[in-house]
Amino acid sequence: MKGIVFTEFLEMVDGRFGEEFCDRLIDAADLPSGGSYTAVGTYDFNEMITLVEALSRETGKAGPDLMKLFGEYLFGSFSKRYPVFFEQKTSCFDFLTKINDVIHPEVHKLYPDAQLPHFSHDWPDDNSFVLVYQSSRPFAALAEGLIAGAIAYFGEKITLEVEDLAAGAGTMARFNLSKEPGAGPDFSSDFGPDPGHD
C-alpha cells in the first residue's frame, strides 16, 4: 500500500487527537516498518489494518467504522492533492464510473507498485448506480468511506447501501446508490430569489 494512504491516516489522527496521541498509537501498534512513512514509499497493507485496530482499542470505536471515517477523510485529501481528477465536476455517478477506467489506471502510472482494487459498475437509470468492489485486500470499508466522501463532495442527495459479498472478509462488496428523483446539487441561490408566478 502506498505511503500516501498511511501519511493521510496519521494526519487525520494527529488532527483529531493531537501529536502525542498519534506517537502513542504508532508505538502501541508495534509496526514492522516502525511507522515512519513517506508518501511515495510502499508498505505492507496489513500495517493499515494494525493501525486501525490500535485506534479502535484507544477510542473504543469499531474498526470498520473507523476505516469508513478514514475513507471519507481520504477522499477529501485526494480531491485536494490530485485536483486534475476533479476538474470536470459533473455528477457523483459520473465520477464513480471513472475510478476503475481512468483514476486508478492514472494512479498506477504514477506509482507502478500501487496495489489497486477492481470496480465494476452498472448505471441502470438516472437515479440508481451500483458499484462492485473486488480486491485481494480487505478494504471494502475503506471503499465505503471513499464513496461516502464522493457523495458529500458532489452535494447530491444520495443514499448508500452496502451488501457484503465476502462473508465478512472485506474483499468484495456491492454498493447500491440511490438518488432522490429530481434531486441534484442545490443551485437555487445562483439564480436569486424565486420571483413567483402570477
Task: Show the CA angle centred on residue 189, arms to residues 185 and 193, nearest 5°.
Answer: 135
Which parts of 16-35 interact with ligand HEM (CB under 6 A)?
none
The residue within the footprint of ligand HEM, chosen from 22, 139, 154, 172 (CB under 6 A), is 139
Cβ proximity to ligand HEM, 129 vs 139, nearer residue: 139
d(CA 170, CA 168): 5
Our CB check for ligand HEM shows the closer of 55 and 143 to be 143
How many whole angstroms separate alpha carbon 172 and alpha carbon 3?
A: 23
Q: Single out the residue of 135, 156, 158, 173 in contact with ligand HEM (rule: CB under 6 A).
A: 135
* Minimum separation from the CB atom of position 46 to ligand HEM (A): 12
Our CB check for ligand HEM shows the closer of 17 and 82 to be 82
Contact positions with ligand HEM (CB under 6 A) in 70-89 = 78, 82, 85
| Of residues 21 and 85, the one with the C-beta less far from ligand HEM | 85
1 binds ligand HEM (CB under 6 A): yes
First vs last C-alpha separation in the chain: 62
Number of other residues whose CB lies within 10 A of the CB of residue 138: 18
Among residues 84 and 196, whose Cβ is nearest to ligand HEM?
A: 84
Q: Which amino acid is at 99?
A: I
How far apart, in whole angstroms, are the C-alpha atoms of residue 145 and residue 110?
23
Nearest to 143 by CA among 42, 50, 72: 72
Residue 180 DSSP symbol: P
Query: Does the protein bind ligand HEM through residue 13 (CB under 6 A)?
Result: no
CA–CA dist 84, 80 (Å, integer): 9
- Residues in contact with ligand HEM by CB under 6 A are 1-2, 4-5, 78, 82, 85, 99, 103-104, 107, 114-117, 135, 137, 139, 142-143, 146-147, 150
